[in-house]
Amino acid sequence: MKPAQSLLFAAACGMFFILPSTGKAAIYTINNTTADALLSGASPTLNFGGAGTLAIAPASSAKGEFDSVIMFNTAGAVSQFNTTYGAGNWAITGFTLSLASNFGANGAIPNNNLLNTVSGGNFGIDWLSYDSWVEGNGGGMGVANGAVSFNSISTLFSAGSDSLGTYLYTPPGNNVYASYSLPLDAGLVSDAAAGGAVSLYFYAADTQVSYLFNSKEFASNHPELTITATPVPEPTSAALLAASLGGFLFSFRQKWKK
């Protein structure tokens, strides 16, 4: 078919077209968490929400298991995307998580005897549906006012979760960010697009990893979440023309039958 014939055929069949977006992507970086805490398997009843570091290590490590939980607030990103494209006229197309530590070299020994020596390895990240956990301000104190601890893990997962994958940690050096591309998981995208809280859970995925990264309480190099969005294309003029031509062809056929 020739282009004009194709358009008429499409209109007659009720076909509508959405062309790919050519708009420039908008990028917003959330440069700190709103809450974070390390969870110590060796001290499961204690809260470490006020610590300056977060940690990931397996149960077989010298100082025991460490998991961590963090929360970002995405309201600023949604506000920027609405301003740039208009409310409802954009879609999230990417997430990048960036983490850094002042103990970021392989073999580094932290100045807190609670923590393991830094080592590369694999770790996992889960998206959590539950966002009502409380950071607390303990640096190894008893849980108070519902603050999170290792014993809270079942509560953290009580509302559901999605695996965001397994990632390789290669210690980059002190105060150097390591970045990880997160998938467009439905729960993660929904939370972020709503402009609310996004909670992420970190855990060891092998027996080698011992990852330290700064919490929001540390002086610098806090966790960062970069969100990318692009405009959502509206129905093109071709689609509107197709609709019009559909009515025209119907009218033409009625006249042709007479």
At 143 the pLDDT is 82
At 139 the pLDDT is 80
176-217: per-residue pLDDT in tens?
999 999 999 999 999 999 999 999 999 999 999 999 999 999
Look at the alpha carbons of 54, 136, 152, 70 in this order and tell me if their dihedral is positive or negative: negative
Find the largest Cα–Cα distance for the chain.
Answer: 93
The alpha carbon torsion through 44, 49, 52, 53 (nearest 10 deg) reads 50
- Comparing 81 with 249, the larger pLDDT belongs to 81
115-154: per-residue pLDDT in tens?
999 999 999 999 999 999 999 988 877 788 889 999 999 9
Contacts of 228 (CB under 8 A, 6+ apart): 25, 26, 27, 92, 93, 94, 95, 96
At 239 the pLDDT is 46
The candidate with the shortest Cα–Cα distance to 123, out of 148, 160, 97, 154, is 97
Residue 254 reports pLDDT greater than 80: no
Quote the tokens at residue 64. Answer: 């025991």
Angle at CA 11, nearest 5°, toward 10 and 13?
Answer: 65
At 235 the pLDDT is 53
Residue 168 reports pLDDT greater than 60: yes
The candidate with the shortest Cα–Cα distance to 178, out of 120, 128, 126, is 120
Quote the tokens at residue 143. Answer: 């849980």
Quote the tokens at residue 106. Answer: 């392989």
Quote the tokens at residue 246. Answer: 């559909």
The overall pTM is greater than 0.75: yes
What's the CA gap between 230 and 150, in Å, rounded?
39
Structural domain spans, the chain:
33-76+101-222
At 39 the pLDDT is 97
Tell me the H-state helices in 86-142.
Answer: none
71-107: per-residue pLDDT in tens?
999 999 999 999 999 999 999 999 999 999 999 999 9
* DSSP run (H or E) holding 254: helix 237-257
Contacts of 53 (CB under 8 A, 6+ apart): 38, 101, 103, 110, 112, 115, 212, 213, 214, 215, 218
At 255 the pLDDT is 47
22-60: per-residue pLDDT in tens?
479 999 999 999 999 999 999 999 999 999 999 999 999
At 190 the pLDDT is 98
